[in-house]
Structure formats: C-alpha cells, structure tokens
Structure 1
Amino acid sequence: MWVDDWALRAACRTEQPDQLFVRGAEQNKAKQVCAGCPVRTECLAEALDNQIEWGVWGGMTERERRALIRRRPTASWRKVLESARDREIAQVTADA
C-alpha cells in the first residue's frame, strides 16, 4: 500500500535537515537513517519524480538518483517503485 503522507512516518522526521544534506563520506551516515525507514520507497519516488537535486532521499544520493533518471528520463518513478514493491510482496507471499 502506498503512503501519500509519507513524510509524517519518515525515519528522518526527527533528524536535523543538515544531517541529510551533506557531501562525501557523510552521505553514508545519512543513508543509514534511511535503511530501516518504513516509507523509504515513497521518499525516493518523490525525489526522483520531482528531480530533487540535493540531499539523501530514500537512501540514495543525488548522484545515484541522477543515474536512474538518465536511464529512464520519462518514467513515473512512483509507478515503477510501487510496481516493484507489489511484485516483491507477491513473491514473498508465494514463497511462504
């Protein structure tokens, strides 16, 4: 299920914004905040669909996001990521 009000549930909601908008090795620390976030996919889709250029969003740096956008410049990332998550859930359910 897609969460439209994802920012209210984000693991980073209590972090200082300066900790998520960093450069270099500090980005790895910011990405760790995203690792267990329940709305990581929604956050990433927001950043990709709106081509947000700065900060770590959904566990990806701006460089990582630019690479994805170059590969699929016209994609609706919400649809892509939602579909991938649905397939993963279906596979886990089938395997159970």
Structure 2
Amino acid sequence: MSWNEEWAAAATCQKSRPDELFVRGAEQHKAKVVCAACPVRAECLAEALDNRIEWGVWGGMTERERRAVLRKRPNVTSWRALLAAAKEAHLEAVETASA
C-alpha cells in the first residue's frame, strides 16, 4: 500500500457525518477512533499539517496535537514528503520482517 494521491475517497470517515469529526473536548476521542484503522491516515494528517488546518480531527490527531507537532518541527516544509517516506520505510520493514 503506497501513498494515495486520491486519499479522501478512501478515507474511513467518508461514512461519518462531518459533525462527528469536528467536535471539542472528550468527543474528540470518539472521532479519533474512526481514524485508527483508516488506510489513508498518513495522507490525511499530511493534508492537515501542510495546510495548517485548525479544526477537527485529521489523521487521528486533534488540532491541539497538530499544533504541538508543528511547534516541535517548525522547519518541515512538506509533511506529505516526510510522512510518505516514513510510510514507505514502515511498509518495507513489515515486508522484510514477514519474508
């Protein structure tokens, strides 16, 4: 499974109502559960980080969590590139381990 350019169509949350994903407080934990098994979680997170999306749960992270990531790594110019490389490395490691 490589990087999905058309990630939104494959997102698990397509079956959810938007008001379930754009919530506050403890309700965000329920929204993050939707993301847990999503096949395009990294793509979604990259979209939110690259575009500094401020509201909702994206890629399994709340806006507060995304702001913390952005503060920790202010010099990242492309989260898409970083997360795509990490996803590819992970998939290669999984394939190697199962061979």
User: Same fold by TM (over 0.5)?
Assistant: yes
Matched, 1:5 2:24: no
Matched, 1:85 2:87: yes
Give the equivalent residue in structure 1 for 2:19: 18
Give CA-to-partner distance per residue, 1:6-32, whole Å, 9 cap, x none: 111110112110110101100000000
Structure 2 portions without partners, runs of 5+:
none
Structure 1 portions without partners, runs of 5+:
none
How many equivalent pairs are there?
96
Task: Please report how far the alpha carbon of residue 73 of structure 1 lies from its aligned counterpart in structure 2 after TM superposition.
Answer: 1.8
* Amino acid corresponding to residue 14 of structure 1 in structure 2: K
Whole-Å separation in 1 of the counterparts to 2:45 and 2:75:
16
Give the equivalent residue in structure 1 for 2:48: 47
Task: Please report how far the alpha carbon of residue 89 of structure 1 lies from its aligned counterpart in structure 2 after TM superposition.
Answer: 1.2
TM-score under structure 2 normalisation?
0.92
Whole-Å separation in 2 of the counterparts to 1:65 and 1:78:
14
**Which runs of 4 or more aligned residues in structure 1 lie more than 6 Å from their structure 2 counterparts after TM superposition?**
none
Whole-Å separation in 2 of the counterparts to 1:31 and 1:53:
16
Task: Please report how far the alpha carbon of residue 74 of structure 1 lies from its aligned counterpart in structure 2 after TM superposition.
Answer: 3.0
